[in-house]
Structure 1
Amino acid sequence: MDIGIGLPGHAPWTDGRQLVAWARRAEARGFSTVAVSDRLRWTTPEPLTVLAAAAGATSRVRLLTSVLLAPLRTNHRLFAKTVATLDHVAGPGRLRLGLAAGFRTDDFTASGVDYAGRGEAFAALLETLRDTADDPGGLRPATPGGPPLLFGGTSRAALRRIAAHGTGWLAGTASVADVEAFTPQLHAAWTAAGRAGTPRIVVSAMFALGPHAGASVARAIGPYYAFAGEEWAREGIAAACTSAQQLTAAVEAFERAGCDELILTGNDPDPVQVDLLAEALGR
């Protein structure tokens, strides 16, 4: 199972250059992927912009949006060209797009985008990505056919997107039980669609390390999940890994559950967290 790093964009970062430093250190310590999350009504940085900076600062580590709120990108042609441009800047085979419909209504209200119509908008965007990947009159991606697509969510619509367009499932901050409950449906949909091989399963988990790990997790996750209620925020804080023992156990458990990649997302903006993580995992 590959181990990647999620940049602490949801945490109280103050200097964007720290996020680029995270990417450099992630590559130097041998992590598989640098991932960036997406929210509009939060201080989370815009993911494609961050990945462009990370691409310029690195040469090998894969780049992932985890997950990008696809229906908010309403100019589909412009989005497709932005993706193709980033794919060229990164170099073939490095960029993967994790996409989801989104469920926070405030992001849509702030954008003037119809929340109820987000599924239809998502479908139209996917068609544009497919069409422009082979458009002789436009900028084609550097990766043949365009960057691989992963989809978030567990709805029937998410299953259809994965089976029709995707290379796999991007599970967000799911538990092992969540993965074990959803993967039979995922494999069934994949097989029913006549897809060869198996879908890739990528899961995220939160972490912070060092003497202030608990405080960092509470400061980052508590406000970020507050919209869903105090109980969800408490559960998110409790589930975060704050020791080498917890990290090792999480890695082993997700690997046993059949995950192909685990993205460990930071909650303390200090780039030294990358080195602490590598040491905790014996890298």
Structure 2
Amino acid sequence: MTLFDGIYPFYLQQRKVAVLDVSTIIVIVVFLTFTCSFLLIIPGIRGRARLYWTLRVLLSLLVGVVIVAVQFTGDWETGWVTANTSYKSFSHAMVNADIGLHVGLAGVNITLMDPVAPWVPVHLVNETIDYNEYFAWNFDADYDHSYNEGLERGLPSPILYVAEKFTTHSPCNMHRQYRISGHYASATLWVAFCTWLISNMLFSMPVLVYGGYMLLVTGAFMIFSLLSFSTVRNSSMLHYLLGLLCFVAGITVVVLHYFNLDLLKTFFDLRDDKAEECQEMTEVYVNTHCVNKGLCLSEPPKLNPNSI
């Protein structure tokens, strides 16, 4: 990429994929590995327990991957517009480009690209319009510092215009709203991930109702994270559905625990075999000769003292 008179800008771009970045891909690959490993061992489970194990494990992995993946996605709030705007400061060049905004829990992605063919250079400004700039506001990053670096690097005016709305000194006050709500949403999601792990451990124990309680807590924290971010804008409906799914599953486990414990234990493959519950009766051999003489088996025979 060239900057004006063929001068190459010697700086590192803060590029981050707007929707799926490396962190999200790693999370998906890890959970897919767990899923494939389970599918390899599922043929060794016999009977209806195979179906029950498949439903339990796949639903649990689905909840886990969503809780972790949404931490790194940038589609909590999205928007885009096609505009004919000035390209850079101190230049009269005008471009027709798509301007996109992707808000995540830890920062924002601002994209600028040619709406027709982003891979074809625009001869008006002598460079390819294909920008994807990431501005972070997590605890170890300073958003205003990233914005000032963008000013020094000479980023296009549309990107700087949108990024300026999220600075701390902007009258729009969007930085405080999105940053605080993003921090609370991220914290509650990590708590939901911890309770999800605890619920999976409790479901492997005989007392299944505690796993149901933890699943209710997981759904509650997922809903809390969405409500925290929804104070600014609406968030993903998929996350809402999975939070409600955890609520429904948790309530179902608790209800079955009190009304149909055998069905619940069967679904979790923890039902004891009735044959094993019954204690085996030891065989008692009775001497018929003693019975005919009226001797009691529980009492020793009485001796005649005159016979001694």
When normalised by structure 2's length, the TM-score is 0.26
Report the structure number with the largest CA radius of gyration. 2
Greater relative contact order (Cα < 8 A, sep 6+): 1
